Amino acid sequence: MAIDFTLTDTQREIQASANAFAARYLTPIADQVARIADPWEAFLSTREAYREMARAGFTRSYIPERHGGLGFSMIDLALASEELARVDTNVPSTLLGSGLGLQPIIQFGTQEQQSRFLRDFVDDEEGELLASFAFTDVAGGANYDSNLPPAGIQTVARQEGDEWVINGQKHYTTNGTGWHKKGAHLYTVVCRTDRSKGADESLAVIAVPGNSPGIEVVAVYDKMGHRGVVTPAVNFTDVRVPVDDMIGQPGDGKQIISRSFSWTAALIGGACVGVMRAAFEHALEFAQREKRLGAVPVIEHQNVGFMLADIKMQIEAARYLTWKACHDMDLTGCRAEELAIMTKVYCSELTVKAVYEAMQVVGVESYIKDSPLGHLMREAMVFPLYDGGNRGIRRRQLHDLMRKPGYDSMLAAQCRLPPGA
């Protein structure tokens, strides 16, 4: 069977629906979010758009059909992500944050856990509920998987009878406030069960209902971009949950974290393409319209044309890398992680480059804070830094894969899994 990049009728419908949704509900808020000084108010300004996203079914799109969701494929989600992020990165990022918070349960939870924790999100037709992946400790996140007992994650869950008692401080906990600053509806908390043991034995993920006593939102960070995405600091102090709320077993945390982050890694590629598209379209329109004291529009100048050609090639390369990564994740149940990680690194760094090149086409006026490209640059700059930083985590993941005995450089190209995956 030949390789086929043709979208199905259903995928074209998803693409068109996401495009129409973005035009109707995201366009009106895209500019205003960046101008709201208070980070909490900026987040709240996206509330109605997120409500409409829930009504349209987007918040159920990544939940499997067997649990009442829409069961979109990874490629379906990437297509929607591109169309949404082309207009606004905030509301789609909140959606992605909830998806990440639920991935440990979707991919690794027992049938009972999946039924118990996912049902609320399936039934949430107004977008009232947010999930949050509580990963990064205040002390850092890049060394989360250290096998040296004093190092690594410092959030600890100790077992007392039939309960886990969780203590730790997390930050950059996307969606961790919920909509009312009282906490997310559900957290999946990365922790260790024993400080005297390394990650291979003790790293774990526990599902924690947001109404559990001892959870406190202590700060809402004020960011350069993604101002409509809330990334608070959240403290867990003697938070008690049943032993059965652990996803998997102590020591399973490394695999759960890696696979959950690979889900977002592939989809961030779609968001990056959307931002690059927005930058390219703005620069192209400028070049077709403006003469800049010359006799012809600046697109007639070879230098401008070459810069636009470079940006367009970058967009196409990033899009098809994203599609390939998502295709492989679909075929392997999210186990084909190498290409997903590459997608996050390559597309995120390419986006910063492409937006900057679009700024060079437009010139210094693109550096004005409220200019479209100035806004897009602030949105783009976080892509290499968040969701597992490209230096601290993502490249190290690739390095670790390559260090394994028998590493085959053609696995990703051929959608084959390494032994034991």
The residues annotated as belonging to the active site are 387
Beta bridge partners of 242: 163
Compute the radius of gyration of the chain from its Cα atoms. 22
**Burial class, 409, CB count within 10 angstroms (exposed 0-12 / middle 13-18 / buried 19+):** exposed
**Rounded to whole angstroms, how far apart are CA atoms 28 and 15?**
20
Beta pairing, strands 232-242 & 215-220? antiparallel
Q: What kind and span of H or E run contains 85?
A: helix 74-85
Q: Please tell me whether residue 157 adopts helix, strand or coil conformation.
A: strand
DSSP, residue by residue, 140-151: BSTTTT--STTS
Place of tokens 């909490």: 40
Displacement of CA 16 from its chain's centroid (Å)? 22
**Burial class, 242, CB count within 10 angstroms (exposed 0-12 / middle 13-18 / buried 19+):** exposed
Q: Please, which residues have CB within 8 angstroms of residue 270's CB and are 6 or more apart in sequence?
A: 77, 78, 79, 80, 81, 82, 85, 322, 326
Decide: 138 and 170 in contact? Cβ < 8 Å: yes
Q: Please tell me whether residue 318 adopts helix, strand or coil conformation.
A: helix
Q: Quick one: DSSP state of residue 182?
A: S
Q: Which of 274, 147, 233, 252 is nearest to 190 (CA)?
A: 252
